[in-house]
Structure 1
Amino acid sequence: MKLHGEGDKTMEAYEKIYKLHELMETKTVADLPGPYKVGVDLGTADVVLVVADEAGNPVAGSLRWASVVKDGLVVDFRGAMLIVEELKAEVEERMGITLDKGATAIPPGTVGRNALACGHVIAGAGLEPVCQVDEPVAAAKALGITHGIVVDIGGGTTGIAVLRNGELVFTADEPTGGTHVSLVLAGAYKMPFEEAELLKRDAAQHRRIMPVILPVIEKMAAVVTAMLAGQEEYHDYPVYVVGGTACLQGFENEFSKAFGRKVHVPPHPLLVTPLGIAMFG
């Protein structure tokens, strides 16, 4: 079986993502030997902790919906630290071991204290920071991409990474993401933002809300097009879109039409970047 013609490497990457989702849904642990790597994804709408083995196979993971980050910046340091502590304790109990080191990720272009904040959060939660990577680069790692474009749509920002022969050749980030989808829903249906977030996550409602949020998806495609302006040499590279917003049913088709090129949404796109962060751990 081939997925989008990508071959065995993509199939293997997708199988890892499916496995991670299964482990998180069932709250179980894969029977794989250590040493283990830990990745923590501090997102705008959620915090995810993933453990992988040396080969990048998922071992365990846990997620908590939260609002401790805004536009890629940690705005509730203590809240973020407590959530990571809880996720770490949950996974440690399942695995029967103590996790002591971990990796984090940031939107491309994040610098200074803002870039250091994610490391400080996991350090406060008992994980020694060993690595910090750009979010779309982490997603590319999870997908096994050496030649292509990764678009990571977070809650507050959208980042892209262009890889050629395994090397990062271009990266960029803009402030638009899933939060804007929720804001549009809140306005359209005259509901609180928190209710709009829940509505967005309800797969049974995706067909109904798609016409309402379609302009936001088109805007995201326009933002990515603008970020790639002047990068015509990569016009034939495959494009992968990850992040929670890509979970919306119909997103892949609508984004492709607005972008003017076929894009690929991996299975469980919300988990791709966290798995990639763990691989860097």
Structure 2
Amino acid sequence: MDILQTANERMEQLAALMNKDIKQPIAAEEKVKVGVDLGTSSIVFVVLDENNVPLFGAFEFADAVRDGLVVNYRESVEVVKRLKTRAENCLGITLTHASGAIPPGTIGNNKKVVANVIESAGMEVLYTIDEPTAAAVVLDLKDGAVVDVGGGTTGISVFKNGEVIYTADEPTGGTHMTLVLAGYYGVSVEEAEQNKREQKDSSEHFSVMRPVVEKMAEITRVHLEKSPSEPLYIVGGASAYSQFKNTFESYLKMPVFQPNYPQYVTPLGIAMSSGSGNL
């Protein structure tokens, strides 16, 4: 069986629901799981049934998080509230519990801030998981490494027997890809970001961004030298380009695996790790 078959099946199911607001009411007593992912460029809200089948998925672009830290608390709360309302309207239930996630190596109060955002949006927090572990849940990864390429950072986590044994987070991500595009084409950062989102299969754009992707691969190489591990998986919204995986493979000279819709892996994993959301 394909190493990613089960993960890809779930990713396809979630992607088919994303921002579609499909009304499919469920019984009030049905157990659901809710995951909230506060990302650098977007906030994602996922609802699953107790068998991890996606029921609802939605996101909004938001400038609420920077380098893994919540920098705009009010905006984060308002976005989560709106996404929660959309989910409740589609499913016909009230969502009372959810789980969130934090980047690897998070220190200070950010773990508490993520929980506070969810609580301020009207839900109790069941669990706060680290992002690589959330991804590993989706990938069913016990041994190997996960590279999570977000908007602001590239995170590397190494797993052994299902436990994180090494983690690192470097300040290079999708935002840096956007800045390179803006400089090359002489456009605003906002326009470059829009073009990047809309033209993920553009070989011309990717050739401009390739040096940044190769820097991410070099970051990965350095950390894997410290803690060697295979297989290597790539997830995260900034990696959702058709040539991204091949660039990593060429640079690292090793097999690299990437699930479909890598931008939704972490939010799906957060929800899968959560408990019932309408207790």
Q: How does 1:58-77 map to 2 (within 5 A)?
A: 58-77=54-73
Q: What RMSD over aligned residues (CA atoms) do the two structures have, in Å?
A: 1.6
Q: How does 1:84-103 map to 2 (within 5 A)?
A: 84-103=80-99
Aligned to 2:202, the other structure's residue is in SS state helix
Moved more, 82-91 or 107-116: 107-116
Structure 2 residue aligned with 1:267: 260
> 1:37·1:102 contact (CA, 8 Å) conserved in 2?
yes
Structure 2 residue aligned with 1:256: 249
In 2: Cα distance, 1:204 partner to 1:141 partner: 26
Moved more, 199-208 or 248-257: 199-208
Q: Report deviation, 1:166.
A: 2.1
Moved over 4 A (4+): 29-33
> 2:64·2:70 contact (CA, 8 Å) conserved in 1?
yes
Structure 1 residue aligned with 2:21: 27
Q: Deviations over 1:228-260 (max 9, x none)?
A: 23213x2xx111101111111211111211222
The structure 2 residue matched to 1:15, chosen from 9, 17, 23, is 9
Structure 1 residue aligned with 2:277: none
Name the aligned partner's letter for residue 18 of structure 2: M
Q: Deviations over 1:192-215 (max 9, x none)?
A: 111111111123662111111000
Structure 2 residue aligned with 1:124: 120
Are 1:280 and 2:235 an aligned pair? no
Q: How does 1:209-248 map to 2 (within 5 A)?
A: 209-232=205-228, 234=229, 237-248=230-241
Moved more, 57-66 or 204-213: 204-213
Change (3 A) 1:30 1:253: farther
In 1: Cα distance, 2:140 partner to 2:23 partner: 23
Change (3 A) 1:169 1:55: farther
In 1: Cα distance, 2:164 partner to 2:26 partner: 31
In 2: Cα distance, 1:241 partner to 1:227 partner: 14
Q: Report deviation, 1:102.
A: 0.8
Q: Deviations over 1:138-178 (max 9, x none)?
A: 11111221222111111011112222222222222111111
Are 1:149 and 2:145 an aligned pair? yes
In 1: Cα distance, 2:102 partner to 2:69 partner: 9
Aligned to 1:86, the other structure's residue is in SS state helix
In 2: Cα distance, 1:29 partner to 1:110 partner: 37
Q: How does 1:155-194 map to 2 (within 5 A)?
A: 155-194=151-190
Aligned to 1:229, the other structure's residue is in SS state helix
Are 1:200 and 2:196 an aligned pair? yes
Structure 2 residue aligned with 1:49: 45
Aligned to 2:9, the other structure's residue is in SS state helix
In 2: Cα distance, 1:273 partner to 1:223 partner: 21
In 1: Cα distance, 2:63 partner to 2:35 partner: 19
> 2:7·2:259 contact (CA, 8 Å) conserved in 1?
no
Which structure 2 segments of 5+ residues have no match?
275-279
Q: Report deviation, 1:29.
A: 5.7
In 2: Cα distance, 1:29 partner to 1:143 partner: 28
Q: Deviations over 1:42-86 (max 9, x none)?
A: 000000000112222211111111111111111110001000000
Name the aligned partner's letter for residue 78 of structure 2: L
TM-score, scaled to structure 2: 0.93
> 1:32·1:59 contact (CA, 8 Å) conserved in 2?
no
TM-score, scaled to structure 1: 0.92
